[in-house]
Amino acid sequence: MTATPDAIRVLIVDDDALVRAGLRLMLGGAPDLEVVGDISDGDEVLDAVRSWSPDVVLMDVRMSRVDGISAIRRLRDAALPSMPAVIVLTTFRTDATVLDALRAGAAGFLLKHTPPSEIVTAIRTAAAGQPTVSPDVLRQLIDHVAASELRPPAPSVDPLAPLTDRERKVALAVAEGLGNAEIAERLFLSHGSVKAHISSALTKLSLDNRIQLAILAHDARP
């Protein structure tokens, strides 16, 4: 199927040739998606992004030379004119490396056995600038941080200090895994106000997405 002229450009990064071929075949059935390239290791990502200008990168976590997390950091450090949304591919949803990837700036993650329709939806969501982790999975990630040795020490300085009182309340609600509608109902705000407060909080805290905000706010709770 031929992609539309304004199709979402996707780069696949995985060291398994069968996975790459399967993703190409699957995504080829969506007219609004275009696979612009596929590569086998994280050390190729920066050059590939510069060459193909993808909107979304599907990034494997474990690769032989440069892992997915390091590749994300390389992209961030390169200060590209346009940073693609990176969706991490993983096998286990509570894998510690997924948390590291989200903190590094990934837009979310997919399990490799995710149904094809959900993978397509996740790519569209990431391309629209939204995280691809559902509230239920976000709660599981936060619970994993709280219950494991991965949880960082309590910060000596409040990381939410730059926020207004309302922005702080919204950030803490995000850390509970609440969606915008639930936050609006709890805090008696409009849906638009919740989105504005989240956007302002991300800017003040130099964060890239809602998932990073949730993890930071969770770590900052007393």
Tokens 């693609």, residue?
84
Has this prediction a pTM greater than 0.85?
Answer: no
Which 8-state DSSP code applies to residue 65?
S
Pull the structure tokens for residue 79: 């200060």
122: phi then psi, degrees, rounded to nearest 5: -65, -40
CA torsion sign for 120, 125, 129, 135 is: negative
Please determine, for residue 44, whether its predicted confidence score (pLDDT) is greater than 60: yes
Pull the structure tokens for residue 134: 């559902």
The per-residue pLDDT of the chain, averaged, comes to 84
Q: How far apart are the first and last CA of the chain?
A: 53
CA torsion sign for 168, 173, 179, 180 is: negative
Which 8-state DSSP code applies to residue 33?
E
Please determine, for residue 143, whether its predicted confidence score (pLDDT) is greater than 70: no
Please determine, for residue 42, whether its predicted confidence score (pLDDT) is greater than 60: yes
State which amino acid sits at residue 55: D
120: phi then psi, degrees, rounded to nearest 5: -60, -45
* Contacts (Cβ under 8 Å, ≥6 apart) of 134: none
Q: Domains in the chain, start-ordered, CATH in brackets?
A: 8-133 (3.40.50.2300), 144-220 (1.10.10.10)
Q: What is residue 134's three-state secondary structure?
A: coil
Which 8-state DSSP code applies to residue 43?
G
Mean pLDDT value of segment 1-25 = 88
